[in-house]
Structure 1
Amino acid sequence: MTGKLTPSQLTAEAFAPYGEVLEIAGAPDKIINQGKCGRYHDLARLDFGSGQAGISLFDAEARHLPYAVELVERHPEGSQAFIPLDGVPMIVVVADDRDGEPVNLKAFISQPGQSINLHRGTWHGVLAPLGKPGRYAVVDRIGEGTNLEEYWFSAPWTVEAAGTD
């Protein structure tokens, strides 16, 4: 079944079933670099079934609301972190899994300064910078074998701005 999604603000609590929100909040875990730098330590659970962690750079085209979600994907062999380099917010779509199919889709809008790490095997939409193009550092599994499953919807879901009918 497809339908409309109204995005929520991305918060650590709301996103917890799908991954971690990486952001500077509260007091740092450590003060380093001659007292000039706060370290917010070990914010994401990197999880790889095989292979190794790699860092790639993505350069993505802008998306706008309303936004059509035609497919979601997941990576069974590894977690995947998206770290905006330009401060461009993202439309983040995630879903629960029921017998190998995505269900209960949710949409979030990240805020400047927020990054995400998707848990291994989490259904998610494609990278979607909101309003303007964005560049991202992506930390994910690099290795042999298939690490991508796609699910195409029979009709797209639509992420709409709040207050849209």
Structure 2
Amino acid sequence: MANVIRLQPERLTQSGFSMFGDVIDIDETKQPIMINEGTTERFHKLAAVELNGKDQFDGQNTAQAIMSIFRAQPRTLPMKIAMMERHPLGSQAFLPSNDTPYLVLVCEGEDAPDPATLKLFVAKEQGVNYHANTWHHPLLALDDVNVFWVVDRAGSGNNLEEQNFSNDCDIIIDADTVNKMIKEMA
């Protein structure tokens, strides 16, 4: 008989997410820096881009921070979670292009993702920056196609590890609990 884990979503906050990365949003408790002749508020250094690893030929760190656009197809809930991924050589930031809620699924684990530590967050009008080597699920858009601006690492070395969960573990994201959380956030 499979061990069933029903993930309970929580609101994405910096304190709840800090061990996995940074929440990228406007923190109204912090004073922005006024720039551009006082016409623009700059919320400074919300996350740091990590570029790790050495080139296999000359031993130099030739990695680059790059920006991409990802178009995420909506997921259907309930959804079974079968795998996680991580990027050992750099951080990876996702910045949504609109205010459509999406899910962020992370967990701990040294060599493999630990299903007992899974944390599911609902993000709305927030981006996330996964620290290098953080286990996370690929994009989990809801309801509509969602476009994300992505900042991550390009360069030599393998910067993607994927790991499937064992078949004796059923990990489920339930539609009712996610929809309830989204309504509470409205």
How far apart, in 2, do the equivalents of 1:109 and 1:67 lie?
15
Q: Which has the larger radius of gyration?
A: 2
Match of 1:102 in 2: 113
> Retained in 2: the 8 A contact 1:88–1:133?
no
Query: What is the deviation of 1:107?
Result: 0.5
Please list, as runs of the form range in 1=range in 2, the aligned pairs for 1:36-75 lying within 5 A after superposition. 36-50=39-53, 51-75=63-87
TM-score, scaled to structure 2: 0.81
Match of 1:130 in 2: 142
Tell me if 1:157 matches 2:171. Answer: yes
* One-letter identity of the residue aligned with 1:101: A
Instruction: Flag the structure with higher strand content.
Output: 1
Query: What is the deviation of 1:71?
Result: 0.7
Query: What is the deviation of 1:115?
Result: 0.4
User: Which blocks of at least 5 consecutive residues in structure 1 are unaligned?
Assistant: none
How far apart, in 1, do the equivalents of 2:33 and 2:104 lie?
30
Deviation by residue 1:36-93 (Cα, 9 ceiling, x = unmatched): 1110001102111141100010011011332221110000000000000122222100
> Retained in 2: the 8 A contact 1:29–1:40?
yes
CA 1:41/1:71 → structure 2, altered by over 3 Å: closer, same or farther? same
TM-score, scaled to structure 1: 0.91
Report which stretch shifted further, 80-89 or 10-19. 80-89
Of residues 133, 140, 144 in structure 1, which corresponds to 2:156?
144
> Retained in 1: the 8 A contact 2:9–2:178?
no
Of residues 3, 23, 27 in structure 1, which corresponds to 2:25?
23
Q: Secondary structure at the match of 1:141?
A: strand
Tell me if 1:120 matches 2:132. Answer: yes
Instruction: Flag the structure with higher helix content.
Output: 2
Percentage of identical aligned residues: 37
